[in-house]
Amino acid sequence: MTSWLVTGGAGYIGSHVARVFAERGIGVVVVDDLSSGHREFVDPGVPFVEGSILDGDLLGRTFAAHDVEGVIHIAGFKYAGESVKRPLHTLRQNVVGTMVLLEEMQRAGVGKVVFSSSAGTRAGCSGATLRGRWSRGRRWRGGVGRPSRRLPGRCEGAGASRAGWCPRGPTRTRGSPR
């Protein structure tokens, strides 16, 4: 049976995604470093791998061991205060971690990905994805979105856009300006 990998699957949203997959008979495996998730959030019947998306070897072994066909990528740091205090830490996890994940997906021949972020923004936005965070001059005033805005350009350089993995076009959330 093939599986879907849920990164950040021990967090609130990720654990719900993994639970629904399992309930519907879709193979699922969770990877989470437990930096903000909780092991007990993952259903006992769902395979759990403790580790970081920054660990390419771990991801490669997980893809092989669980015959992963696709990824729901939810792992990332989203707390604005922390991203302002520790911008390089947030950048490493959110941008570099995503690049490592995409590289390992490419090595394993995994071509399906859903990138889900409750706090990120994408290049090409015509307005604020996080309401109230943009100045009139379109300068970012918070910490969370800035690393995620860098992802499209970085993954294109890594060849991910040719595989169809890079976000394209504007991404807006409910309540954001048009």
Higher pLDDT, 174 or 35: 35
Q: Closest Cα to residue 30, out of 55, 51, 7, 58?
A: 7
Q: Closest Cα to residue 21, out of 69, 65, 59, 55?
A: 69
Q: How far apart are CA 134 and CA 98, in angstroms?
A: 24
Q: How many domains does the chain have?
A: 1
What pLDDT is stored for residue 169 in this prediction? 42
In a domain, 176, yes or no: no
- Per residue in 120-152, pLDDT (tens digit) is 444 444 443 333 334 444 444 454 444 444 454
Residue 86 vs residues 52, 78, 93, 148, 149: alpha-carbon distances, Å? 18, 12, 11, 15, 17
Average pLDDT of the chain, as a whole number: 77
In a domain, 80, yes or no: yes
Q: How far apart are CA 133 and CA 10, in angstroms?
A: 28
What pLDDT is stored for residue 117 in this prediction? 66
Q: What is the CATH number of the domain that holds 92?
A: 3.40.50.720
**And the tokens for 5?**
């990998």
- Per residue in 45-69, pLDDT (tens digit) is 999 999 999 999 999 999 999 999 9
Domain hosting 57: range is: 3-163
Q: Tally Cβ neighbours within 10 Å of residue 67.
A: 13
**And the tokens for 47?**
């395979």
pTM score: 0.69
In a domain, 45, yes or no: yes
In a domain, 149, yes or no: yes
Report the range of poorest mean pLDDT among 62-76, 103-117, 148-162: 148-162
Position 119 pLDDT exceeds 80: no
In a domain, 148, yes or no: yes
In a domain, 174, yes or no: no
In a domain, 49, yes or no: yes
In a domain, 177, yes or no: no
Residue 41 vs residues 18, 29, 67: alpha-carbon distances, Å? 10, 13, 23
